[in-house]
């Protein structure tokens, strides 16, 4: 688990992916899904309507998950089988830190599937130290900026492999 004082704000180098429309968001999500291995953790943050659920749907499709994937807002965790790897889709928006801790999320994070956590910044101390943290920001009606913080060498390699633009945190805050 992450150190209680560790935050995804601690790293100075991040990567950026600009989606000019939904098709670019889908392409990023599907590309990341192809790289996923058991134990992959993707932390997603962004304002309401930023595209977290759409990203999650495209990621699931990239894993080959059959059927409809929607946000687990009230169920907290939805498990999907039938793809290349199991998908554990979580929405922790309505949970306190204590409630999230009691759910035993680490069993999912260390499991045989991929954990995709919406609103992950609310439970940073419970997240594994190694993860890919994505923040989705609005650039316009259809455009989005994905600020990607790879925590761990595997995720650093993924960002480079996908041709993301390396930036300093200061550059992405402008």
Q: For residue 35, which phi and psi values (nearest 5 degrees)?
A: -85, -15
**DSSP readout, 118-171?**
ETGGGGGGGS-SSEEEEEEEESSSS-EEEEEEEESHHHHHHHHHTTPEEEEHHH
Its CATH architecture, for the domain 13-172, is 3-Layer(aba) Sandwich (3.40)
pLDDT on residue 148: 95
User: Where do the domains of the chain lie?
Assistant: 13-172
The 10s digit of each residue's pLDDT in 133-167 is 999 999 988 899 999 999 999 999 999 999 999 98
More confident residue, 76 or 1: 76
Among 59, 52, 62, 12, residue whose Cα is nearest residue 135: 52
Q: Does 10 have pLDDT greater than 80?
A: no
Q: Is the pLDDT of residue 9 over 50?
A: no
- pTM, entire model: 0.88
């Amino acid at each position: 688990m992450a150190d209680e004082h560790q935050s995804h704000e601690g790293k100075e180098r991040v990567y950026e992916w600009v989606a000019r429309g939904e098709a670019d968001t889908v392409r990023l999500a599907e590309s990341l899904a192809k790289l996923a291995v058991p134990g992959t953790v993707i932390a997603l943050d962004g304002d309401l309507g930023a595209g977290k659920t759409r990203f999650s749907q495209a990621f699931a499709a990239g894993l080959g998950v059959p059927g409809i994937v929607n946000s687990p807002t009230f169920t907290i965790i939805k498990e999907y089988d039938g793809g290349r790897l199991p998908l554990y889709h979580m929405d922790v928006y309505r949970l306190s830190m204590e409630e999230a801790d009691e759910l035993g999320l680490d069993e999912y994070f260390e499991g045989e599937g991929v954990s995709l956590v919406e609103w992950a910044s609310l439970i940073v101390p419970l997240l594994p130290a190694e993860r890919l943290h994505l923040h989705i920001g609005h650039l316009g009606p259809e455009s989005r900026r994905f600020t990607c913080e790879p925590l761990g060498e595997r995720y650093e390699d993924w960002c480079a492999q996908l041709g993301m633009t390396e930036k300093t945190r200061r550059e992405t805050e402008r």
